[in-house]
Amino acid sequence: MNGGLVPTAMDYELDAEVTLSGVPATPGLVERLVPELAAEALRKTIGPRGEGRLAKLVSDGPVLRLVLESSGARPHQALLALVRRLGEELGRTAKVGVRSFRAPVYRIRFPMDPVPKGPLSLPIPHEFHMDGPVGVLELKDLPEEALRDNWADRTTQLLQEKAKRQAYEGKEQYWALLRPAVPREPSFRGDPTEEMLRRQWVRSGPTKGKWFLGPTAAHLLRTMNRIAVREVLTPLGFQEVVQPHHDSFEILQKTGHLEGLPGEFYYVTEPKTRDPAAWERFTDLVKITRKVPEEELAKLVSPPSAVSCYAQCPTIYWWLSGRTIATDSLPLRIYDRSAISNRYESGGRHGLERVDEFHRIEPVYVGTPDQLVALREKLLERYAHVFDDILELEWRTAWVTPFYMQQSGGVGVEDAQAQVKGTIDFEAWLPYRGDRATSEWLEFQNLSIVGEKYTKAFTIRAQKGELWSGCSGIGLERWLTAFLAQKGLDPDGWPAGFRRAAGDLPPELRFL
Amino acid sequence: MNGGLVPTAMDYELDAEVTLSGVPATPGLVERLVPELAAEALRKTIGPRGEGRLAKLVSDGPVLRLVLESSGARPHQALLALVRRLGEELGRTAKVGVRSFRAPVYRIRFPMDPVPKGPLSLPIPHEFHMDGPVGVLELKDLPEEALRDNWADRTTQLLQEKAKRQAYEGKEQYWALLRPAVPREPSFRGDPTEEMLRRQWVRSGPTKGKWFLGPTAAHLLRTMNRIAVREVLTPLGFQEVVQPHHDSFEILQKTGHLEGLPGEFYYVTEPKTRDPAAWERFTDLVKITRKVPEEELAKLVSPPSAVSCYAQCPTIYWWLSGRTIATDSLPLRIYDRSAISNRYESGGRHGLERVDEFHRIEPVYVGTPDQLVALREKLLERYAHVFDDILELEWRTAWVTPFYMQQSGGVGVEDAQAQVKGTIDFEAWLPYRGDRATSEWLEFQNLSIVGEKYTKAFTIRAQKGELWSGCSGIGLERWLTAFLAQKGLDPDGWPAGFRRAAGDLPPELRFL
């Protein structure tokens, strides 16, 4: 349906070219058969939702040129059906098959809302312009794969998404205070990383944005880890898993991470071979020149095929993929704390707060919507216990929703607290950044319910009923930084609950 | 010294070409100055260890062609000194400088032991042949960098090393039983990975040779982790550190891993930029085609610049690099258990025993030779306690030395047990592989003292005296596999000590 906008034109116009394996001996066979089969194909594929017609047919030796037009549904579906039937009929009656097909041009008219503010690019041959509120797209030279694989719909969706992004560019993420902070007098006002460096607790690592934690800092990070498990996860029945820390491209395509964040991954490449003979030239060059011969190395490794863990939940969903979870195992509550997260942070690095490598515990929960809402309440309660009673932090929570989610599903400012799907951020004041009212607080943890997005993407089913999922990111370096930024590095300034959890600090190593 | 083998020829003959910034106005200046400065340079650089001479000098406009010959020491050192002095003198007297220099040919005669069995390759232009027991090498077209950076010595060392490798090819690693196994009746004879797969305790991961451990398997791996820390490391005063899990090339060059094992690394590559605009084409192609466009991705990432952790000790040595450790902090005892190890295993993968990704605790110790020998005894004692009293394994230890170490320093079979530097392997019988006498046992742990190799490479010093180091690899997947292979997956078959350490197993998840 073109919504009555342009009543003289169909929404879709597909110029197709079908190549046969030969010319049927019977003259006129093709001219008789194609209209008949096209009508059948259009009726079956377009019929229920719109109208369509074969607008043109020219045969030129073994090549058939035809135009399929339609409204309300896409004519490439009709073409696929037509080609299949044509192959069957010609094979049976004339010993001729369909060798290949392609579309020199595919014209699509579709309403755009919002209308784009500027030019939109596409990585495949095309022309595009707006006709009032209607986008007019001409895809050119589409191979068979593109028709079978429905590039048409993905392309129009992509244009729509880009127009939406243009509309929201520069707008901030939605943020609404949920639980206000209780002010606490900090016992320290310095930058904790600077102070840790001064005391040789940490050393800035050998590669970008990564840190080496000496015994004291490691002890404190491990204490945070233990607090999270003992005080939050174990009491709520979460079980630990140990997951691979390489995320496959396939998994990241299913979650949407690969298309969403490709510039933030550390990619992993494998050697093409383990054979020492193949590596001899590389090895010899390293030995003689004491430098790494980049070009030689590039020849010996495969293209990137995975990424170093970005978040743990994608691979946890993969683990459950294709499985049906028994009712008595719901809500499924698991967590991983072994995979190490890597993010290419580029310019944004600062101390241990914003790093390229960090240790996170990621609880993932899968259950009915009601189970997850109830579990979220319990998680919020346990987290509050940790931050109030053990770490004694000045912290707050906020409901955050990226702009694109604010649109879809009508997440409005007014009813944010009533929302079920979405993310809660936990933020801590960093006194060294300045006044609590005006400085930027540190997001040190989050908690989400994502609905059925991932259970659907990974085909995870419940024995019965709807199955939702969610996750929470416990950033241990961020817990540590938030704590040290407010309480300082001297145990005297630490709350009793944390001192108890930390136990004796390791003896300090002495370097001269 | 050529050892009197070829008394008529010098060991080294360097054809050099020095290009001046101009031709000095005074005729004959160069012809007078160069022999004088060459004599001075030869005296200072070759003099103390051998003899040398300027064998030829031809000046051709601004280009000087000269030949330096020597025995006992390398003439490129004399060339460097000559060039420096020549630049000074010509600058002062004739306002002419040295623009560049190179060596069209560098001939080197050196005794080889062993004599190569077959052809030896080099990755730079050269000719090579044997003259009896003497290698005759002609390096060609060496740039200035090669002369400054002493490629000559590294090249002859490399040829020698290759000849040695040829001599030992096919010989097995040295292995001598240290502590024989006490036979124990296994309570299980199956392949533990097969059984874990059957019970859905593990799932073969989304990328090669990596596993996802569900709650029960993760609980058991975590139990092994806890046993190692509680029973071995904490009682002996080891402190935990948390290290980055990317190893830089620089670190791996210092340890020798990069030239030794380049085909076994998983390499890490960074995005060239985080800018979403630069990634738009990639992102759009993923969205439209649902495939990862490899060529597009290759353009957007940098060449590999690091590897995913291979072993933890290199980065621990890096952490200590350049530091002087106070006497009262020795022996330094630390361990990391957060970095995850990756090895590209290719064909050798089997179950959880031989994987591309594993979790290892790596204790590293740095101290005087006496301290390390004493510590090794204590470690052996604590390990024996774990394997005998808690896991109740059938295990043995062996002294192992790679062939190249058997040569240097005279590590002989007869006095293996008396050796100080070297590696002890811990091996467990895997009943499913067959008879204990004939089947291959699993190396599930090792322990080494490496002497001053790494303390020297990383410039780690003691407040006073000699400083050695060593490390031990506690492979948690291997502990687990060895245990399950002998004891099975049913807690009824487990020794009481392990059952106590493991506590309650998590409730099994039910999948339909």
Start-to-end CA distance of chain A, whole Å, equals: 79
Specify the DSSP class assigned to residue B389: I
Handedness of CA A373, A374, A377, A383 (dihedral sign): negative
The helix (H) or strand (E) run that includes residue A396 is strand A395-401
In tens digits, chain A (512 residues) has pLDDT values of 334 344 446 799 999 999 999 999 888 899 999 999 999 999 999 987 889 999 999 999 999 999 999 998 999 999 999 999 999 999 999 999 999 999 999 999 999 999 999 999 999 999 999 999 999 999 999 999 999 999 999 999 999 999 998 888 777 778 899 999 999 999 999 999 999 999 999 999 998 889 999 999 999 999 999 999 999 999 999 999 999 999 999 999 999 999 988 999 999 999 999 999 999 999 999 999 999 999 899 999 999 999 999 999 999 999 999 999 999 999 999 999 999 999 998 777 888 888 899 999 999 999 999 999 999 999 999 999 999 999 999 999 999 876 555 544 434 444 444 578 999 999 999 999 999 999 999 999 999 999 999 999 999 999 999 999 999 999 999 999 999 999 999 999 999 999 999 999 999 889 98
**Contact assignment for B325 to A509 by CB distance below 8 Å:** yes
Q: How many C-beta neighbours within 10 Å does residue A490 have?
A: 10
Q: Name residues whose C-beta falls within 8 Å of residue A381's C-beta, 6 or more positions apart in sequence.
A: none
> Angle, to 10 degrees, between the axis of helix B29-45 and the axis of helix B75-94?
140
Strands B98-111 and B12-20: antiparallel
Query: In 3-state terms, chain B is what percent helix, strand and coil (to 5)?
Result: 40, 30, 35
* Amino acid identity, position A18: V
Task: Pick the residue from chain B with its C-alpha nearest to A219.
Answer: B240
Cα separations (Å) of A474 from A425, A480, B53, B338, B350? 11, 11, 71, 16, 34
pLDDT band of B107, cuts 50, 70, 90 = very high
Whole-angstrom distance, CA of residue A326 vs CA of residue B431? 35
Q: Name residues whose C-beta falls within 8 Å of residue A60's C-beta, 6 or more positions apart in sequence.
A: none
Residue B429, CA atoms < 13 Å, CB-side half-sphere: 24
Instruction: Please name the member of A267, A271, A334 whose beta carbon is closest to the beta carbon of B215.
Output: A334
pLDDT of residue B65: 97
Taking phi over 0 as left and psi of -120 to 50 as alpha, with beta for the rest, B109 belongs to beta
Specify the DSSP class assigned to residue A209: T
pLDDT of residue A169: 78
Nearest alpha carbon to residue B304 among B361, B252, B266, B354? B266
Q: Name residues whose C-beta falls within 8 Å of residue A481's C-beta, 6 or more positions apart in sequence.
A: A192, A193, A351, A352, A353, A430, A442, A444
Q: Which residues of chain B from 342 to 361 reach within 8 Å of chain A, CB to CB? A: 342, 344-347, 357, 359
Residue B401 pLDDT > 60: yes
Whole-angstrom distance, CA of residue B65 vs CA of residue B103? 9
Which positions in chain A touch B504 (Cβ < 8 Å)? none
Which positions in chain A touch B217 (Cβ < 8 Å)? 242
**Contact assignment for A268 to B264 by CB distance below 8 Å:** no
Residue B173 pLDDT > 80: no
Whole-angstrom distance, CA of residue B121 vs CA of residue A287? 13
Whole-angstrom distance, CA of residue A151 vs CA of residue B305? 36
Which positions in chain A touch B253 (Cβ < 8 Å)? 286, 290, 292
Size of interface A-B (CB pairs under 8 A): 309
Instruction: Please name the member of A217, A245, A325 whose beta carbon is closest to the beta carbon of B340.
Output: A245
Task: Pick the residue from chain B with its C-alpha nearest to A146.
Answer: B289
Whole-angstrom distance, CA of residue B240 vs CA of residue A203? 15
Whole-angstrom distance, CA of residue B304 vs CA of residue B282? 20
pLDDT of residue A22: 93
* Residue A309 annotated as catalytic: no
Q: Which residues of B are catalytic?
A: 313, 343, 345, 354, 362, 425, 443, 446, 471, 478
Whole-angstrom distance, CA of residue B424 vs CA of residue B396? 10
The helix (H) or strand (E) run that includes residue A512 is none
In b/e form, how buried is each residue of A358-374, taking b as 16+ CB within 10 angstroms?
bbbbbbbbbbbbebbee
Residue B412 pLDDT > 50: no
> Angle, to 10 degrees, between the axis of helix B151-168 and the axis of helix A280-289?
140
* Residue A345 annotated as catalytic: yes
Residue B469 pLDDT > 80: yes
Whole-angstrom distance, CA of residue A149 vs CA of residue A152? 9
Whole-angstrom distance, CA of residue B264 vs CA of residue B253? 15
pLDDT band of B508, cuts 50, 70, 90 = confident
* Residue A354 annotated as catalytic: yes
Q: What is the ipTM of this complex?
A: 0.88
- Say whether residue B277 is in contact with chain A using an 8 A CB cutoff: no
Residue B487 pLDDT > 70: yes
Q: What value does the mean pLDDT take over residues B248-254?
A: 94
Q: Which two tokens stand for residue A455?
A: 């259970």
**Which residues partner with A67 through β-bridges?**
A15, A56
Rounded to whole angstroms, the maximal C-alpha distance in chain A is 98
Whole-angstrom distance, CA of residue B214 vs CA of residue B212? 6
**Contact assignment for B263 to A286 by CB distance below 8 Å:** no
Torsion angle defined by CA atoms of residues A274, A277, A282 and A287, in that order, rounded to the nearest 10 degrees? 110
Q: Which two tokens stand for residue B506?
A: 């998590």
Whole-angstrom distance, CA of residue B248 vs CA of residue A205? 9
Instruction: Please name the member of A218, A292, A332 whose beta carbon is closest to the beta carbon of B240.
Output: A218
* Residue A74 annotated as catalytic: no
Residue B80 pLDDT > 50: yes
Nearest alpha carbon to residue A99 among A27, A40, A17? A17
**Is residue A427 a contact partner of residue A444, using CB atoms and an 8 Å limit?**
yes
pLDDT of residue B497: 97
Active-site residue, selected from the candidate residues A65, A102, A184, A354 = A354
Q: How many C-beta neighbours within 10 Å does residue B190 have?
A: 15
Which positions in chain A touch B510 (Cβ < 8 Å)? 325-326, 328-329
Nearest alpha carbon to residue B106 among B193, B176, B16? B16
pLDDT band of B1, cuts 50, 70, 90 = very low
* Amino acid identity, position B290: R
pLDDT tens-digit series, residues B121-166: 999 999 999 999 999 999 999 999 999 999 999 999 999 999 998 8
The helix (H) or strand (E) run that includes residue A495 is none
**Contact assignment for B269 to A304 by CB distance below 8 Å:** yes
Our CA-based measurement puts residue A310 at a distance from the nearest CA of chain B, in whole angstroms, of 13
**Is residue B18 a contact partner of residue B102, using CB atoms and an 8 Å limit?**
no
Active-site residue, selected from the candidate residues A138, A443, A452, A499 = A443
**Contact assignment for B288 to A359 by CB distance below 8 Å:** no
Which positions in chain B touch A278 (Cβ < 8 Å)? 263
Q: Which two tokens stand for residue B345?
A: 């295993």
Q: Above pLDDT 70, what percent of chain B?
A: 95
pLDDT tens-digit series, residues B180-216: 999 999 999 999 999 999 999 999 998 888 999 999 9
**Which residues partner with A490 through β-bridges?**
none
- Say whether residue B271 is in contact with chain A using an 8 A CB cutoff: yes
Burial class (CB in 10 A: 0-12, 13-18, 19+), B372: buried
The helix (H) or strand (E) run that includes residue A444 is strand A442-451
Nearest alpha carbon to residue A156 among B289, B288, B293? B288
**Is residue B457 a contact partner of residue B351, using CB atoms and an 8 Å limit?**
no
Q: Which residues of chain B from 280 to 339 reach within 8 Å of chain A, CB to CB? A: 280-290, 292, 294, 297-298, 300-301, 303-306, 308, 315, 318-319, 323-326, 328-329, 332, 334, 338-339
- Say whether residue B420 is in contact with chain A using an 8 A CB cutoff: no
Q: Which three-class secondary structure state does DSSP give residue B487?
A: helix
DSSP string, B282-312: HHHHHHHHSS--HHHHHHHBPPP-EEE-S-S
**Contact assignment for A248 to B338 by CB distance below 8 Å:** no
In the block, tokens 């959880």 appear at B352
- Say whether residue B62 is in contact with chain A using an 8 A CB cutoff: no
Nearest alpha carbon to residue B430 among B373, B317, B352? B352
Which positions in chain A touch B339 (Cβ < 8 Å)? 340
**Quick one: how far is CA B295 from the chain centroid?**
32
The helix (H) or strand (E) run that includes residue A477 is helix A476-487
Instruction: Please name the member of B123, B265, B511 whose beta carbon is closest to the beta carbon of A324.
Output: B511
Rg for chain A, CA atoms, rounded: 30
Q: Which two tokens stand for residue B350?
A: 């089997």
Nearest alpha carbon to residue B416 among B66, B175, B211? B175
Specify the DSSP class assigned to residue B425: E
**Is residue B271 a contact partner of residue B303, using CB atoms and an 8 Å limit?**
no
